Structure 1
């Protein structure tokens, strides 16, 4: 599958998540990475590549499939996938504010 880049705005009609740590845009990058921009304008890269090697992925297991990983969406400022898996935007914001790249510990 070719690397695709998608940018998503919050699709929830009439709802504007105002917290500065809410995610405003996401782009899928190669190698299981996501570029995110927050409501406060800060941005960084989330490295999700460890989902491919973890022995206990739980709900995140389907993310190891590249097609499924590319199905990431923003719902109310949160990164979500079709199976209900999500990443806490406050946690991401905290880690990206000190380092511009953060590796998710799946």
Structure 2
């Protein structure tokens, strides 16, 4: 199944992203649940969490070469 691509995203409060998709819908996604996974967010640093980019293809949000979240994860597990 194809999922809509990410067009933009912003942090709206502590560790919650508001993600805008190509189908004009949005999802809120709280990344705080991922902070307990050492391979995901080694530094539990809010400033680091705010420093992300949208993948040029719209297929995810990227923090660095090792840390990202796919559009699928945000679309399925985000809230309306």
What band does the TM-score fall into relative to the shorter chain?
0.7 to 0.9
Which of these residues, 91, 95, 102, is aligned with residue 77 of structure 2? 95
Q: Is 1:72 matched with 2:52?
A: yes
User: After superposition, what is the alpha-carbon deviation per residue over 1:9-38, rounded to whole angstroms, capped at 9, x for unaligned?
Assistant: xxxxxxxxxx65210010112211100011
Shift of residue 70 of structure 1?
0.8
User: After superposition, what is the alpha-carbon deviation per residue over 1:53-83, rounded to whole angstroms, capped at 9, x for unaligned?
Assistant: x2x3213223x21111110110121100034
- Cα RMSD (Å) of the superposition? 1.9
Instruction: Give structure 2 stretches of 5+ with no counterpart.
Output: none
Could you tell me which residue of structure 2 aligns to residue 59 of structure 1? 40
Bigger Rg, structure 1 or 2: 1
Shift of residue 50 of structure 1?
2.3
Q: Give the length in aligned residue pairs.
A: 77
Instruction: Give structure 1 stretches of 5+ with no counterpart.
Output: 1-18, 101-106
TM-score by length of 2: 0.78
TM-score by length of 1: 0.62
